[in-house]
Every structure is written in C-alpha cells, then in structure tokens.
Structure 1
Amino acid sequence: MQSYVKLKKILDNLQPYSIKLGLERIKALLKALSNPQNSFKSILIGGTNGKGSVAQMLNDSFLQKGYKTGLYTSPHLILLNERIKVNNAYVDFDLLLDLALQIEPLAREFDVTYFEFLTALSFLAFKKLKVEYAILEVGMGGEFDATNVVEPILSVLTSISFDHTEHLGKTIEEITKTKMAIIRKIGIIGKNSPNVINLIKQSSNADLYFVDEIYLSRAKQFDLNFLKCDYEKENLACAFLAIDCLNKYYNLGLDTQAIKNTYWPARFEIIKSANKTFIIDGAHNVDGANRFLECAKKIKGSKMLIYSSLKQKEYQKILNMLSFYFDEIIITKTNNRNSIDKDDIKFENKNYKFLEDANTSLLYAQQSNYENIFIAGSLYLAALAKACMLEENLP
C-alpha cells in the first residue's frame, strides 16, 4: 500500500473539497500531457441519479464483446482506484503513482483541482493501457465538468432533478442546460419530466433518442441479478437504448447479456449479517431518497435507518420524508468535514436519535432487535458501513 499512501498524499495537497468550475485548467493540463484523451473513443454519462449504474452496464456490454474498456466513475467508496478500471479491474496503484508523478508538477503549474487531477490521471492510464473505449461518468453537472473535454461518440443523460444547486442553478431549467452540454453527436435521454424533455428537444441539434414505454417495458422484463430496485429498470432502459444506438451508428455488435450480472455498490445493496439484513444506499438528494423509499417500503419486517448527509443537501426535507417509514432513525456524522452534526437537525420526530459516529451507530444497530438496518443519505456513510462490514480500515 506504499504507492497508495504516496498517491493519496499528492492528491490531498490539491484541496479535495475545492470545486472550481471551468475547463481552462484541465485543458491546459491535458495539452501539456499530449492530450491522452484523444487516444480512445469516449462515452459520457451525465444526469442526477443513475449515472454510475448506466456506466457500469455499458462497460460490461463492451467487455463481453472483447473491447478493451476503461471505466471512470466517482466518488470511490473505500479505495481510490475504484474510480479507474480497465477491463473491470482496478488499475494498479504502482502504475497510478508513476503517472501521478508525471502530472504533479504540471498540476501545480495549472492549479488544478482534485477531480481534474484524477480525470487527467484516468486518461493517462487509459492511454498507457491501450483502452479502445472509455465510459466516463460526469462528476458534477456537465458543461464545466472535467470529463467534458472529450469528444464523445455518444452521450447519456439519466434522470435530471435537483442537486448541487449551489453550483448548477436553482431551477430545473438551469440544471438541465448545464447537464445537456455533454451531448455532441448522439444523445440518449432517460425517463424525465415533460419540462426537461421539451427543453432538451428545443435546445439541442444532436441526434436525440428518448427512453419510451417500449424500452421501459423491455427493461422491466429483464432479470438483473444484483440491481433489484425498480429505479434500476429506468437505468437499464437507458443502457438498452444506448446499446441500440451504438450498434446503429458504429456497428459494434453489442448486446445486453452481460448486464444481467452488472454490480454497482451502495445502490440498495443488500448484505446479510448474522440475523440481520443490512441495506446500503447512497441516496443523497430528494429524488434519490424517493427512489430509495420506494424500495424500502417493499422490505418486510422491522426497520431501522442510519442516516447522514452533507450540510449542503436537503437533509431535513429528506428526513421528514423518511421518518414515517422507519421504526427508529439514527442520525450520525461521517469523516467528511461537511457532514451534518447534532446541532443541524430539528429533532421533531420522537424516533430520531443522534450518535456521534458511524461505527457507534452500526454497533448500536447490530445490538438492536431490528431485522432490517438501512444505511442511507451519504456515500461517505455507505463507505464507512461497507468498510466496517468487510472488516477493512479506511486509508
């Protein structure tokens, strides 16, 4: 793990919590690195929820047909190289460190952010490992996201709703416009409100394809071994439509069989432990919480929720939504400096309890009589929970 520690030290010096919108820094950095993003064909996946699942589904479809495939997603749960995979394997830390050392002096020169550095690092790794197709998940928004420096052969927009409003805008129209900026040639649009659909139709000159009832029906009849929630069927419909268009335009011969076994962590992920069932979901915005709740209602037996959130999220609104469906709700902090604290919460509901950290909360849950323990609200909390269950220590 020595390479991991050195790589983490380089990245920690880049102010991981800093967000600076704009493409000038990443473009200058990539130019100095001889534009590694031009060495492979790219597919961009944007939207508010479901990006990671769709990216992994497309990745699996490409792999099944023998294409050398890169997958770049964010954030990671436990180890940083979860973000950068080639042929479904995490890229080795030794290689990532070697490439990061090439980037480091240039990163200081161009004052790049943590995410911009990682994006450039993924592009270098994909070039080094001779990736043919890279599936890239947008970090935040679209127009000014570091991934948007590529020229995608196809772009996907999953569901669009409110999130990151402090950066993307306060209205659904503003958010949609920044997200649809990733569309160049061909755009796949997932299930969305009529307002979002009409805005995209009016604002884009690309070839646009919209998920319809035919694709949703096809997705509902498709058996997924791991992604069991109904909302994943909407993501699956997006992937089906994207595959059909990739075959139509580029004759790639992709099919959907590999998607049956697509696995994406912390998306209503069920882990059995002793006499309890743990369900981990990264739901961190109102739309995600609604989708999480739809699935949670179908689980039989007594239910406890362990919840955390970042302060900039609509956590009070989400808690008010969830409070009626759980027998007890534990609110806790994570190791993120922007995590909510006890003083941030209005304890209006008698079934709320605050515990100081995730480990204490999990221990409390394990010792309780509840059959089902739900963990939601933050991917940072999901990461801590998974690490505890896997008996791993977070670096």
Structure 2
Amino acid sequence: MNYQQTLDYLYEHLPMFTRVGASAFRKDLHNTLELCNQLGNPQQQFKSIHIAGTNGKGSTSHMLAAIFQQAGYKTGLYTSPHLKDFRERIRINGEMVPESFVIEFTEQLKPSIESIGPSFFELTVAMAFQYFALEQVDIAIIETGLGGRLDSTNVITPELSVITNISYDHMHMLGNTLTEIAGEKAGIIKAGVPVVISETQTEVQSVFAEKATAMKAAIHFADKEWLVQENELSGNHLQLGLVPHGSGDNATLRRIRTDLTGGYQTRNIMGVLSAVKVMQKAGWELPEAAVNTALQHVKKLTGLRGRWETIAHHPLTIADVGHNEAGITEIVEQLRHMVYRQLHIVTGFVKDKEVDKVLTLFPPAATYYFTKAPLPRAMDEKELAEKAHAKGLKGHDYPTVQQAYMAAKQHAHEDDLILVCGSFFIVAEIL
C-alpha cells in the first residue's frame, strides 16, 4: 500500500469519531491497552505531559511542545483532529511523522486491526506512542481526544497533567452538567503526579481539588498563581505582562509575547507558565529565554493552525476552529476588539453540537454563509440556515465550504471582515 491507500484502509476499516460520531467512541481502555501490549507497551518508554479540557487543550499542547523543543529537548506532540494531513497528529520537534512510518505501522498491525477491531483514534494513539518510543523522545506532549478518564491516551503515567477549561461539549458522552464533564476530565489526574488547572471555575473547582487530594497529587490553579497586569493585542501578537500572585508591588513584570493572537490565549498561557514552573522544579531545564522565544514562535515551531489565524488581508479573513458554546463565546468576544465595516461569517456545524444554543451567541448584524463540511456527521446546510433564520441571523446556504467562502469573498468590501468558524472541518476546507 502507498500512503493514500493506507489512509483509505484506515478510514474504511476503523470507526472514526470525527466522521460518524458517538458510535466510534469506546467506553473503556481495553483496545488501547491490547494494542500497546502487542507493541511492547511503548507508552511506558517515554516521559510525557497529559493535557485535557474542553477548549484550549490544543493551543496549550502546542505551546508546551514549542517550549521543550526550544529548550533543546527532543519533543513529541500528539494532537487531534488534523486539519489537512493525517500526519499533523503525530510530530517530533514540529516535523510530521513520515508517510513511510504510517504505512509500515498499519501493515504491521493489520492482524491486530482485524482481531481487536479498534477505533480510528485508538489505533492512532498506539501509532503515536510507538513512534515516540522508537524515536526515543525526551518528552511527549499528549492531548486527549475526548474527555479524559476513558480517553485512549489515558494509558500513560505522565510527569504532569494539565486541565485547561471545562464547558459544555459532547454531553451525550461526557455528562449533562459541568460537574459531570469535569469528573471525566479529572480522570487524567494520576497518583502522585502534579496537576495544573489553567482556569479556576467555581462550579468545578472542588471536583479537581477532591480528585487531586484522593490521588495525593499536588494541584496548581494557574490563574491563582499569576496576575495579569498588561494585556494587549497588537498586529499578529498578543502581549502580556504578568507577576506571580502575592509578589507585592516591587515584583518584576514578566513580559510574554506570543504569535497566538486570540484574547482567550491569556488563560492558556497562565496554565503553560504554571506547568513550566512545575517541570522546572522537577529538574527540567527550561530557561526563561527559551520559554519567551518559544511562545513568540509557536506556529513556526509546531505547525499550529486555525486559532484566530489570519489567512488573508483586504478583506481581513480569519479562521478559528472554535465550535462549541465556550469557543464561540470567545470568538464573539474577540470580534468586539476588531474594527471593520461589515462582518461576513462562513459557518457550519456537526449534528451532535447544541447548535440552537450556539446560534444565539452569534452577532445578528453579520451576513451569514451557511454550509457543511464533506463528512457524514455534518449538519445539512439548509437545516442550519433554517435554525439560524429562526434566531434572526440573515444569510444564504451553500452546498460546499468553497462555494460559501467564494460568496463571502465576492460580497465583502476590502474594509470588511470575513470569519470562518463552526468546526475543525469547515476551517480545514478553507486552509
């Protein structure tokens, strides 16, 4: 098989959550453990940091990977889903896993695929762990796919766990309350392994504190460790000035400049800085200069895309993978800081999102281009347009993302703003 044939085989033979939804989600770790066992348990052969959360876990993973990489460590990075190429999920020092490895691994595991019947995600996790073990990475940053407790990645014992943010998403699998969802994410907290919580949220704070106590794990609430005194978005950079909480009036301002420009990155950065502090105490050499340089060049170092990303000028065109209630809330908040004549929004969703709730968050004054990504889970563009019209949003529907995007470009004046959002898959079609 060549690379494309290998991908076709994986997509055809393995249930894939991003395509078919809940039927691909496995409610135990049996398959992952069985695959890892057959590979000689690669998950035990490298050090790691494990990251969960509803929003922000991808950005946080990329920032931490950039920092370790810049500090001279051979750094693995596992994230999902991918935007353009499957290999984006598995990287070392920003370089995607070679096509040859994907082909050889799949060939090697064909008998296991036939006998175990893993999901696409379970196999991908095993592939990443095998690659990181064989390449002898110094550390791997591992992002959960869904939840935490039953997520396929939750077979590692990391040096540190990080939980970014809890909001409503995948409720049909993770629970209907923030407390239930937090309980699932808290499942990555391991015995004696410190945990950083990026954002203190009143409803779920006790869930994490109690789990950490039960596991004898030191817990750090990042936004209680840092005080943001300056927060400015300028051009393609976000600039922050922070001091450690309780450090008094004479504390030196820690200046951070990052190429991740969403205002929502402020909370993620506090989580990252607390994570760095924990790892430094554990003996990892992460000089402040390396941290600062890495945060300025996250996209270049790790290949991160789709987070408030400027993809064109005149008209200014921004793509953001925000797709749930909290994600869209952050996007709308970010729009308040933008100057434009008219706003054009190209959007589409998958069926299992609370689309009615999310649509109420969108600005009614914008012009909308409703569409769908080419996957079975995508909500029909006409159904989406109908729901949106009922919420007072004005616009037309288009059968493909490209047609919707072209229409937005045709209607937009050069002083307007085009925003592409709603799901990873809508953004992927544009990039």
Q: For the residues of structure 2 that align with 1:343 and 1:284, how far apart are their CA atoms?
A: 17
In the alignment, structure 1 residue 265 sits paired with structure 2 residue 308:
no
Give the 5 Å matches for 1:101-116.
Answer: 101-116=107-122
2:60 alignment partner in structure 1 = 54
1:356 alignment partner in structure 2 = 399
Q: For the residues of structure 2 that align with 1:216 and 1:190, how far apart are their CA atoms?
A: 13
Q: Compute the displacement of 1:223 (Å).
A: 4.2
In the alignment, structure 1 residue 88 sits paired with structure 2 residue 131:
no
> Over the residues paired in the alignment, what is the CA RMSD in angstroms?
1.7
1:391 alignment partner in structure 2 = none
Q: Compute the displacement of 1:109 (Å).
A: 1.3
1:77 alignment partner in structure 2 = 83
Contact 2:3 2:99 in 1 (8 A): yes
Contact 2:49 2:158 in 1 (8 A): yes
Contact 2:412 2:418 in 1 (8 A): no
Contact 1:42 1:153 in 2 (8 A): yes
In the alignment, structure 1 residue 327 sits paired with structure 2 residue 366:
yes
Q: For the residues of structure 1 that align with 2:114 and 2:402, how far apart are their CA atoms?
A: 37
Q: Compute the displacement of 1:225 (Å).
A: 4.1
Letter in 2 for 1:211: A
Q: Compute the displacement of 1:350 (Å).
A: 5.3
Q: For the residues of structure 1 that align with 2:268 and 2:69, how far apart are their CA atoms?
A: 19
1:382 alignment partner in structure 2 = 427
**Alpha-carbon deviations, 1:218-256, whole Å to 9, x = none?**
783244342112110111111000000011123433541
SS in 1 for 2:172: helix
Letter in 2 for 1:209: H
Q: For the residues of structure 1 that align with 2:225 and 2:52, how far apart are their CA atoms?
A: 22
Q: Compute the displacement of 1:327 (Å).
A: 2.4
Q: For the residues of structure 1 that align with 2:110 and 2:2, how far apart are their CA atoms?
A: 18
Point out where structure 1 has 5 or more consecutive residues left out of the alignment: 387-395
In the alignment, structure 1 residue 163 sits paired with structure 2 residue 206:
no
Equivalent of residue 227 in structure 1, options 260, 283, 293: 260
1:244 alignment partner in structure 2 = 277
Q: For the residues of structure 1 that align with 2:257 and 2:371, how far apart are their CA atoms?
A: 32
In the alignment, structure 1 residue 191 sits paired with structure 2 residue 199:
yes
Contact 2:197 2:222 in 1 (8 A): yes
Give the 5 Å matches for 1:303-314.
Answer: 303-314=343-354
TM, length-normalised to structure 2: 0.86
Letter in 2 for 1:297: R
Point out where structure 2 has 5 or more consecutive residues left out of the alignment: 230-238, 242-254
Q: For the residues of structure 1 that align with 2:417 and 2:58, how far apart are their CA atoms?
A: 25
Single out whichever of 283-292 and 326-335 deviates more from structure 2: 326-335
Q: For the residues of structure 1 that align with 2:283 and 2:29, how far apart are their CA atoms?
A: 29
In the alignment, structure 1 residue 367 sits paired with structure 2 residue 415:
no
Q: For the residues of structure 1 that align with 2:373 and 2:284, how far apart are their CA atoms?
A: 46
Q: For the residues of structure 2 that align with 1:183 and 1:147, how far apart are their CA atoms?
A: 13
Q: For the residues of structure 2 that align with 1:350 and 1:71, how far apart are their CA atoms?
A: 39
Contact 1:81 1:90 in 2 (8 A): yes
**Alpha-carbon deviations, 1:97-132, whole Å to 9, x = none?**
112222221122112110000000011111121212
In the alignment, structure 1 residue 5 sits paired with structure 2 residue 45:
no
Contact 2:61 2:143 in 1 (8 A): yes
1:278 alignment partner in structure 2 = 317
Q: For the residues of structure 2 that align with 1:227 and 1:366, how far apart are their CA atoms?
A: 25
**Alpha-carbon deviations, 1:18-50, whole Å to 9, x = none?**
112210111011111100111100110000000
Q: Compute the displacement of 1:214 (Å).
A: 4.7
**Alpha-carbon deviations, 1:64-87, whole Å to 9, x = none?**
121111000000000000000011
TM, length-normalised to structure 1: 0.93
- The change in CA–CA distance for 1:292 and 1:311 in structure 2 (over 3 A counts) is same
Contact 1:186 1:208 in 2 (8 A): yes
Contact 1:308 1:331 in 2 (8 A): yes
Q: For the residues of structure 1 that align with 2:227 and 2:199, how far apart are their CA atoms?
A: 9
In the alignment, structure 1 residue 293 sits paired with structure 2 residue 335:
no
